[in-house]
Amino acid sequence: MERFDQSFTQQEPIPDAGIEAAIAVMRHGRLHRYNTVAEEIAETALLEEEFAAFTGARYCLAVASGGVAMATALRAVQVCPGAPVLTNAFTLAPVPGAIASIGARPVFIETTEDLTIDLGHLEVMARATDARVLMLSHMRGHLADMDRLMALCNSLGIVVIEDCAHTMGASWNGVPSGRHGAIGCYSTQTYKHINAGEGGLLITDDAGIAARSVLLSGSYMLYPRHRAAPPAEVFEAMRLDVPNISGRMDNLRAAILRPQIALLAERAARWLALYRALEDGLSGTLGLRLIPRPAAEAFVPSSFQFTLPGWPAARVRALVARCGARGVELKWFGAPEPVAFTSRYDHWRYAEPQPLPQTDRVLAGLIDMRLPLTFSTDDAALIARIIRAEVLAVGQMLQDALDAAAQGLRLAD
Ligand SMILES: *Cc1c(COP(=O)(O)O)cnc(C)c1O
């Protein structure tokens, strides 16, 4: 019986250029982004400039985490405490957490079979709550129809903030993820597309939002040192009105990240090859549904999802256990209790309880798997063979149990 023996959480090393740049920062000791000498430009300011260029955004701000980027974005568009903020029911804990961190109320929107936000439910809830802001999470890299979504939000006067933690480098109809809404937020945490351990990035074309974000992030009065920020006069109008909520990125992380931006395209190609190898190996498996990917979507799959429609919990649990025993680490979004990074909307008890039957149905059969670049396409093919065999084995067990029960009934006749 085949087994897989590699770690699902082992990322690639930091590229040598990043290691050397980080060592240089440690040798000179000026780790704080505003600690520069003479004409020196901080690594953090350079990262912002380079990431703005990568996405095509006017402005970029580097912060301490993806969660800080999202909370900063919500504050920068001036969401008030108690205000409703629309967001995906299928997302990760830092998203509703960012909404709660500013005292606002997450209002969850249903999930489609294809793991994106349900636009019909979005419209209903937007009208019912009068929410002004959508925190749109491109969860696990699945992009909704962004043309339809933006048309709907524009018609309702809703400001869109994009959570691009899983879509750095992705695009819809050629427009980069993070460039559809007013703000795009990214994470540079270890499990995302570029890795500095922690960190976040925020992009926007709006000068007021950019200046407020810089001030919020804790710029003291040193905002002129930013290179991907609006001119000083934009700050001057507001600098005494915006609180300093320190959440900066440091030069060490920026030094680690800068060389990784250039690697993103090549990484995206390798991720896609792993994803396609899994799809090929799993297609046509009875009882298992692959997620269709629209032609308009260019995605950077650092993880893989499939659903087991209509499976009872015990059968899903059996599959996860049997794959786990063969070294294939699957995560199940239907589990009644949060496990490691995996939690769901009804575990976030600080949010008002909301009935979301469609999301419940999708999550009950949703399986998720990390796809680190330390895997090869042969590894992906092996993982697919194991999952396929176990899906069929668990199905056969069910069939045997049904046959035995039928036999029992006949005997009883
Ligand atoms: C990782 C992640 C974030 C941001 O996470 P941080 O750990 O705060 O950097 C936001 N949204 C989603 C969906 C994520 O997975």
Question: Does a structural domain hold residue 1?
Answer: no
Question: From the CB of residue 31, how many other CB atoms can be counted at a distance below 10 Å?
Answer: 18
Residue nearest to atom 5 of ligand 1 (CA): 66
CB 138 within 8 A of CB 112: no
Ligand 1 within 6 A of 137 CB?
Answer: yes
342 pLDDT exceeds 90?
A: no
Closest ligand 1 atom to residue 140 Cα is 13
Question: Does a structural domain hold residue 11?
Answer: no
Tell whether 304 and 225 lie within a shared domain. no
Q: List Cα–Cα distances, 78 to 133, 163, 264, in angstroms.
A: 10, 17, 33
Which residue among 9, 11, 95 has the greatest number of ligand 1 atoms within 8 angstroms of its CB, and so is best to mutate? 95
pLDDT at 124: 98
Tell whether 226 and 272 lie within a shared domain. no
**Final residue of a structural domain among 194, 228, 261:** 261
Give the model's confidence band at 412: pLDDT under 50 very low, under 70 low, under 90 confident, else very high. confident
Tell whether 109 and 248 lie within a shared domain. yes
Tell whether 244 and 307 lie within a shared domain. no
The CA 67 to ligand 1 mean position distance, Å, reads 6
Q: How confident is the model over 131-190, as pLDDT tens digits?
A: 999 999 999 999 999 999 999 999 999 999 999 999 999 999 999 999 999 999 999 999
Tell whether 246 and 270 lie within a shared domain. no
Q: How confident is the model over 294-309, as pLDDT tens digits?
A: 999 999 999 999 999 9
Question: What integer best gives the mean pLDDT of the chain?
Answer: 96
The CA 5 to ligand 1 mean position distance, Å, reads 27
Ligand 1 within 6 A of 261 CB?
Answer: no
Question: From the CB of residue 237, how many other CB atoms can be counted at a distance below 10 Å?
Answer: 10
CB 386 within 8 A of CB 326: yes
Question: Does a structural domain hold residue 4?
Answer: no
> Mean pLDDT throughout 95-108?
98
CATH of the domain at 350: 3.90.1150.10
How many domains in the chain?
Answer: 2
Tell whether 139 and 253 lie within a shared domain. yes
Q: Which range marks the domain in which residue 217 is found? A: 16-261
Question: Does a structural domain hold residue 360?
Answer: yes
pLDDT > 90: percent of the chain: 92
**Residues whose CB is less than 8 angstroms from the CB of residue 116 and which lie 6 or more positions away in sequence, other chains included:** 142, 143, 144, 145
Report the predicted TM-score, pTM, of the whole model to 2 decimal places: 0.96
Residues in a beta bridge with 109: 88
The CA 325 to ligand 1 mean position distance, Å, reads 29
**Final residue of a structural domain among 261, 289, 311:** 261
Q: How confident is the model over 30-75, as pLDDT tens digits?
A: 999 999 999 999 999 999 999 999 999 999 999 999 999 999 999 9
Ligand 1 within 6 A of 116 CB?
Answer: no
Tell whether 284 and 213 lie within a shared domain. no
Tell whether 319 and 270 lie within a shared domain. yes
